Structure 1
Amino acid sequence: MEKANEEITSLIKSYYTALGDKDITTLRTLVDNLAPADESKITNAKYIEGYEAGDIYTKKGLDDDSYVVYSCFYYICQGIDTKVPALAEFYVVKDTDGNWKIDGAAHDDSDEITKYEVSLRQDDDVKELKAKVQKQYEDAQTADPALAAFLDGLGEDVTGSAETADGTTLVVTEDCNVRAAASSDAEVIGGLSAGTEVVKKGENGDWIQIDYEGSEAYVHSSLLEEKTE
């Protein structure tokens, strides 16, 4: 894992600025194949006021014109002073004009890319980075009870239904993808490492709804088990 070069750093920082501003026009220049569902989710986001990019790292992609990017960042919750540490994973490619862009459809178009990214999550440096950010996330909530309460309540506010805000703590049994909707064909918006704890917010068929970086997301139920003391 290496610190991202100037071009990749600029791309990711511009992405978070546009994301916080809900600037779809700019996001379309930074993300190839930005899905209409993603545009709607960004435009209608209620609880995130902005984003701030942190350290950005890369690993070589499947060819010389691609990178897997690991972006440490913070998101700012509405009415909460403490910034929330988070980690995002992108697949970045060089387009025909020689510009670096986030490939918004990488996982839809290529199982090979998905498998490659999953394999990289077993690397010690990736595991260490994820563990570091996870600890920062937990420490932020410990230091700010208002933040912890806010994050815990997101699922209820999003769904508007107490029945889906189950509140059960589940443990990820193996490294897995997090999807934007309850379908194996839905967009992969991130990943979780084995052992990560999540709170069940609802259920849709074989899929468990969770909160992922402030957004509604889904993990297949076969990859989760109830936490035991």
Structure 2
Amino acid sequence: MNTSNNTIQDFLKAKFEILKDWLVRYSKIVLPVILAVCILITVVTAISANKKKVEQEEMAVTTEETEVAAELIAVPLVPLEQDVVPGINEFVQSYYTAMVEGDTDTLSKIVEYMDATELIRVVEMSKYIESYPVVEVYTKKGPREDTYLAYVYGEMKFYDYDRTVPGLRVLYICTDENGDFYINEDGEEDDNELHYIQEVNLQDDVVDLNNKVSVAYNDMVAEDSELAAFLLELKGEIEKNVGEALARAESSEQTGEETEETSGESEETEETEEGTETPSMVVTKVKAIDVVNIRTSDSETADKLGKAAVGDEFTLLEERGNGWSKVEYDGGEAFIKSDYLEPSQTEIAVADDEENETEPEDDDDNNSTPAASTGTVTVKENVRIRSGASETSEKLATAYAGEKLNVIMKQADGWTKIDYNGRTAYVKSDYVE
């Protein structure tokens, strides 16, 4: 056995010596060939690995695209339908009625969401719109369950213009957990919803309806130069009024956050006002400072009798603490929001001896008895109660939102005179209702 192993070893050793001599003899030829083969193997391996990586990446991208495509909501090709969704016509009509009335409370409830700028714009527009005599509702199924895309054709009637102006509005109407409709304008639709809505808007029947309304509107404007000028002027006027309203709101907010007055300033104001007597003035006539609705009672939901133009004058019958003024109108009585009126004629009040004994001077004595209360107002936002109708007057206390105050008179200068703990005091009218 050992002899056999030795023979094999001797044989292998002899072959190795022969191979060694051969490699040494032909090394200049063999070694470059071996090197080239090694490089070739390396390159082939690298290419194979890279190809495999590319294939894997392409497979991953294809899979991702497939998943995204699978997530897109299918857009059905169904025709526009009119008056088929139960309750939606009445809902849309309530929306348009609120637009005409400038009813921001209703709009805030049924639209999600309208910012302050848009609410002000609605109020400004309502001053010019008399009605929507024609409202037609066409619907298609929305991207989610119990949602609808409503294409609303409306004809708008302006005051002092005989013809109605056509228009088309798209509403994304959803249903809340109570089954009630609301208009979704929060701008937070996901990509799938936006893709769905865009695709539906491009469907032939929707495009045809839009084109039909656009042609009717353009033809009307083209043949009536006065209407074209009016609409252009109206747009500029609305934007101006909205900007001014926002500026006033910002100014009021800054006033509400004013710093505390120093005690020295308060003392100086008290010394200036002490002993000063102001004759009592009674407003007998008022005039409109803006276009405003005239209503049958002191409520924004009351029937409209007409609209007051800027400068229209009325005999003032009563200025109520709830922000409304009773005036004479067409031989009867009517109501206008006090914020849109200013005094145009005043008279000095003539008081008898008994009234002079009981009627206090506004700032003469902090412990004087106030005039009789005519009702109450509710505080909308926290507001300071002051001794006089001035932001530099002494601060008596702070009234908090929801608190009720006994009102004596709502003045035209933006202040409301109240009975506060048995004395006359004042709050800014913007903060009470």
Tell whether the structures are fold-level matches, with TM greater than 0.5. yes
Question: 1:56 deviation in Å?
Answer: 0.8
Deviations 1:9-54 (A, max 9, x none): 1111110011100011122232233323321221233763244142
**Letter of the structure 2 residue corresponding to residue 93 of structure 1:** C
Question: 1:80 deviation in Å?
Answer: 2.4
In the alignment, structure 1 residue 86 sits paired with structure 2 residue 167: yes
> Within 1, Cα distance between the matches of 2:239 and 2:175?
38
Question: Hey, what does 2:228 align to over in structure 1?
Answer: 148
In the alignment, structure 1 residue 34 sits paired with structure 2 residue 87: no
In the alignment, structure 1 residue 54 sits paired with structure 2 residue 135: yes
**Letter of the structure 1 residue corresponding to residue 108 of structure 2:** R
SS in 2 for 1:62: coil
- Structure 2 unmatched runs, 5+: 1-79, 241-433
In the alignment, structure 1 residue 2 sits paired with structure 2 residue 94: no
Tell me, yes or no, if the aligned pair for 2:151 and 2:171 is still in contact at 8 Å: yes
Deviations 1:65-119 (A, max 9, x none): 10011000122334322211000001001101011111121x3343433332221
Tell me, yes or no, if the aligned pair for 1:2 and 1:58 is still in contact at 8 Å: yes
Tell me, yes or no, if the aligned pair for 1:35 and 1:104 is still in contact at 8 Å: no
Which of 85, 91, 98 in structure 2 is aligned with 1:18?
98
Question: Hey, what does 2:207 align to over in structure 1?
Answer: 127
> Within 1, Cα distance between the matches of 2:190 and 2:131?
29
> Within 2, Cα distance between the matches of 1:145 and 1:77?
16
Question: 1:155 deviation in Å?
Answer: 4.5
Q: Which moved more, 1:123-132 or 1:138-147?
A: 138-147
Q: Which moved more, 1:15-24 or 1:1-10?
A: 1-10
CA root-mean-square deviation = 2.2
More helix by share: 2
SS in 2 for 1:57: strand
> Within 1, Cα distance between the matches of 2:235 and 2:110?
29
Deviations 1:106-162 (A, max 9, x none): x334343333222112100001000111111123224433212212334444566xx
Tell me, yes or no, if the aligned pair for 1:59 and 1:67 is still in contact at 8 Å: yes
Structure-to-structure mapping, 1:63-212, within 5 angstroms: 63-105=144-186, 107-158=187-238
Tell me, yes or no, if the aligned pair for 2:124 and 2:238 is still in contact at 8 Å: no
Tell me, yes or no, if the aligned pair for 1:47 and 1:77 is still in contact at 8 Å: no
Deviations 1:163-190 (A, max 9, x none): xxxxxxxxxxxxxxxxxxxxxxxxxxxx
Tell me, yes or no, if the aligned pair for 1:49 and 1:77 is still in contact at 8 Å: yes
Q: Flag the structure with larger Rg.
A: 2
Q: How many residue pairs were aligned?
A: 159
SS in 1 for 2:125: coil
> Within 2, Cα distance between the matches of 1:15 and 1:57?
15
SS in 1 for 2:144: coil
Tell me, yes or no, if the aligned pair for 2:125 and 2:238 is still in contact at 8 Å: no
**Letter of the structure 1 residue corresponding to residue 111 of structure 2:** V
> Within 1, Cα distance between the matches of 2:163 and 2:89?
24
Query: Which structure would you say has the larger RCO, counting Cα contacts within 8 Å and 6 or more residues apart?
Result: 1
SS in 2 for 1:108: coil
Note closer, same or farther for the CA distance 1:46–1:98 as it changes in structure 2 (3 Å cut): closer
**Letter of the structure 2 residue corresponding to residue 94 of structure 1:** T
Over the matched positions of the two proteins, sequence identity in percent amounts to 28
Tell me, yes or no, if the aligned pair for 1:82 and 1:147 is still in contact at 8 Å: no
**Letter of the structure 2 residue corresponding to residue 70 of structure 1:** Y
Tell me, yes or no, if the aligned pair for 1:80 and 1:146 is still in contact at 8 Å: no
> Within 2, Cα distance between the matches of 1:141 and 1:104?
29
SS in 1 for 2:217: helix
> Within 1, Cα distance between the matches of 2:119 and 2:233?
24
> Within 2, Cα distance between the matches of 1:50 and 1:30?
22
**TM-score w.r.t. structure 1 length?**
0.62
Question: Hey, what does 1:204 align to over in structure 2?
Answer: none
Note closer, same or farther for the CA distance 1:11–1:148 as it changes in structure 2 (3 Å cut): same
Question: Hey, what does 2:51 align to over in structure 1?
Answer: none
> Within 2, Cα distance between the matches of 1:96 and 1:46?
31
